[in-house]
């Protein structure tokens, strides 16, 4: 009876089958992905789930990078616990959007950069590639500078030397990928939990009031003239463009059976795993805001503490905590900042690999691609740290966050369109409810970022010390670029998808299909997602 029902379901076209490329490369039997399907289908649910753990934790690093840390600390210093609810809502948004990226890779067998290359005309494709590479560089700047600050706090080395050390150490850690994707995921996950332990350790010293923290998480409130701007900055810092490319590619490192059951299990497990990883990221963000809010709201603070709270940065935060909590807290902060910067740098370089491979189809050796991506990302930080020192390096973090906000629509809109497109996912596209929800969230985030950029530029234009003629000249140059930017966003939103990348799988007969649905391998049948050389090699 069960077999008959499965056959009827397949005949109605409800089976979720991943697309097969026209000429899939042959697979060497000695080179398998790390979680081969259990031949008897007997693995328990939690053991199957563990096979999918990893990509979500790599992706969650973007929500714990030094740029987010600085934004969190500023929010805690200015508003105590009032903006914790923004972190909760922002990470719920992030979970929905990241799950779309993971499902896109699982169902289509291609990651986002590959689909962009297939869909858009040549000039649009290259423009999106340049913007994606700029996003990787912009995301890497806070990581590099944050790590350099941490090394300066721990070992008192010059900032520019710390920048160079950051590049070398990240390349060494990425070398772990030679021993398998799971090993790299373990290293990065370890750094995440080091960071968590550091900030939770600091919380045990300052003991923020639990009642006020819970009220801040679950009761939305915006008080004060800068609360709205800080809330927008918090949300804008959460969703990173390169993270969407990264997540859609990392899921392809897992061997997923070409069946309704296999695809459904993979999408569910990746959603759960991403939820757990982002929950850990949420707790760490809450800890950062709670620690800073408690320290800066203490009764009768010293003048030095008050000055630090009024203009808190990644570099000054360590001295703030040191003055209040002692030397041990300063060391804990530096270790957490070091873990944040290093792990974020790894994922940023990793994303750059997939972006280059997807858009340009470049077949480069991994170490060459790592070195090139890393050098390009380090150059701006190195130049600024040599010329301007720590103060200018801190300003560079703000500029990098504005660049990421500017570029987000050019990654998010293709993701939303592809995940809702029959030409890309066939009958497995999102339901109407998910389409409406994801577009509302996506357009909300894009609108927030555009508002943040526009108000920031107008505010700078009206408050700078340049002559009026200079402001007029800058306005003449910038406002047409802003108009072109909005037109480009509208083009991506309303352009119809023409290229069909989804292909129905080869029919292998109802009995063989039922065996595959039950988790049993079919002899002489490749029941996995199309082979990815770059992912198999790692």
> Highest-confidence range of 211-220, 377-386, 529-538, by mean pLDDT?
211-220
CA distances from 4 to 11, 261, 459, 514, 532 (A): 11, 16, 67, 9, 35
| Average pLDDT over every residue of 409-417 | 92
Predicted TM-score of the model (pTM): 0.80
Query: For residue 15, what is the DSSP state?
Result: -
How far apart CA 207 and CA 214 sit, in angstroms, is: 14
Residue with tokens 């990470």: 91
The residues, any chain, with a CB within 8 Å of residue 354's CB and separated by 6 or more, are 111, 113, 245, 246, 249, 534
The residues, any chain, with a CB within 8 Å of residue 81's CB and separated by 6 or more, are 208, 212, 213, 215, 216, 289, 290, 293
Decide: 531 and 24 in contact? Cβ < 8 Å.
Answer: yes
Q: Among 221, 228, 180, 263, which Cα is nearest to 14's? A: 263
**185-232, pLDDT tens digit by residue?**
677 777 777 778 877 877 887 888 889 999 999 988 887 767 777 787
**290-322, pLDDT tens digit by residue?**
988 888 887 766 676 677 777 787 877 766 666
How far is Cα of residue 322 from the mean position of the Cα atoms in its chain? 31
Quick one: three-class SS letters along 258-300?
Answer: CCHHHHHHHHHHHHHHHHHHHHHHHHHHHHHHHHHHHHHCCCC
How far apart CA 287 and CA 360 sit, in angstroms, is: 41
Considering only residues 38 and 374, tell me which one the structure prediction assigns the higher pLDDT: 374
| pLDDT band with cut points at 50, 70 and 90 for residue 128 | very high
Decide: 230 and 75 in contact? Cβ < 8 Å.
Answer: yes
**17-30, pLDDT tens digit by residue?**
333 333 333 333 33
End-to-end CA distance of the chain: 43
Tokens read off for 514: 């039922």
């Amino acid at each position: 009876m069960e077999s008959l029902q499965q056959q009827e379901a397949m005949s109605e076209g409800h089976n979720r089958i991943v697309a097969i490329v026209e000429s899939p490369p042959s697979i060497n039997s000695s080179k398998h992905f790390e979680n081969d399907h259990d031949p008897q289908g007997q693995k328990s649910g939690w053991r199957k789930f563990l096979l999918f753990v990893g990509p979500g934790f790599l992706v969650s690093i973007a929500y714990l990078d030094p740029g987010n840390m600085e934004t969190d600390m500023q929010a805690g210093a200015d508003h105590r616990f009032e903006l914790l609810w923004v972190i909760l809502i922002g990470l719920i948004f992030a979970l929905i959007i990241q799950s779309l990226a993971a499902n896109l890779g699982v169902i289509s067998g291609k990651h986002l950069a590959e689909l962009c290359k297939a869909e858009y005309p040549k000039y649009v494709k290259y423009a999106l590639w340049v913007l994606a590479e700029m996003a990787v560089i912009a995301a890497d700047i806070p990581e590099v500078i944050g790590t350099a600050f941490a090394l300066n706090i721990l070992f008192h080395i010059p900032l520019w030397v710390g920048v160079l050390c950051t590049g070398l150490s990240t390349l060494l850690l990425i070398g772990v990928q030679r021993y398998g994707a799971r090993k790299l995921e373990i290293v990065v996950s370890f750094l995440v939990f080091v960071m968590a332990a550091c900030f939770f350790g600091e919380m045990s010293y300052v003991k923020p009031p639990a009642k006020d923290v819970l009220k801040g998480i679950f009761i939305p409130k915006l008080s004060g003239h800068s609360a709205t701007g800080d809330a927008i900055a918090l949300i804008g810092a959460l969703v990173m463009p390169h993270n969407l490319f990264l997540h859609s590619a990392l899921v392809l490192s897992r061997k997923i059976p070409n069946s309704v059951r296999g695809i459904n299990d993979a999408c569910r497990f990746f959603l759960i795993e991403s939820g757990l990883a982002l929950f850990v990221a949420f707790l760490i963000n809450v800890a950062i805001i709670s620690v800073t809010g408690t320290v800066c709201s203490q009764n009768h603070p010293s003048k030095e503490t008050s000055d630090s709270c009024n203009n808190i940065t990644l570099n000054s935060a360590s001295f703030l905590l040191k003055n209040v909590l002692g030397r041990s807290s300063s060391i804990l902060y530096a270790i957490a900042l070091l873990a944040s910067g290093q792990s974020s740098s790894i994922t940023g370089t990793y994303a750059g690999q997939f972006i280059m491979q997807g858009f340009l189809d470049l077949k480069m050796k991994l170490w060459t691609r790592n070195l090139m991506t890393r050098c390009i990302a380090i150059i701006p930080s190195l130049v600024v740290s040599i010329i301007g020192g720590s103060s200018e390096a801190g300003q560079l973090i703000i500029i990098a966050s504005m660049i990421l906000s500017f570029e987000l629509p050019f990654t998010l809109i293709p993701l939303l369109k592809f995940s809702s497109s029959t030409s890309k996912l066939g009958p497995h596209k999102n339901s109407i409810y998910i389409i409406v929800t994801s577009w509302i969230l996506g357009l909300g985030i894009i609108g927030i970022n555009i508002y943040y950029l526009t108000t920031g530029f107008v505010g700078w234009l009206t408050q700078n010390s340049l002559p009026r003629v200079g402001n007029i000249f800058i306005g003449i140059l910038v406002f047409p670029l802003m108009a072109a930017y909005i037109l480009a966003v509208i083009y991506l939103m309303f352009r119809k998808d023409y290229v069909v990348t989804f292909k129905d799988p080869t029919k292998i007969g109802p009995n063989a299909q039922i065996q595959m649905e039950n988790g049993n391998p079919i002899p002489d049948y490749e029941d996995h997602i199309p082979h990815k050389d770059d992912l198999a090699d790692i």
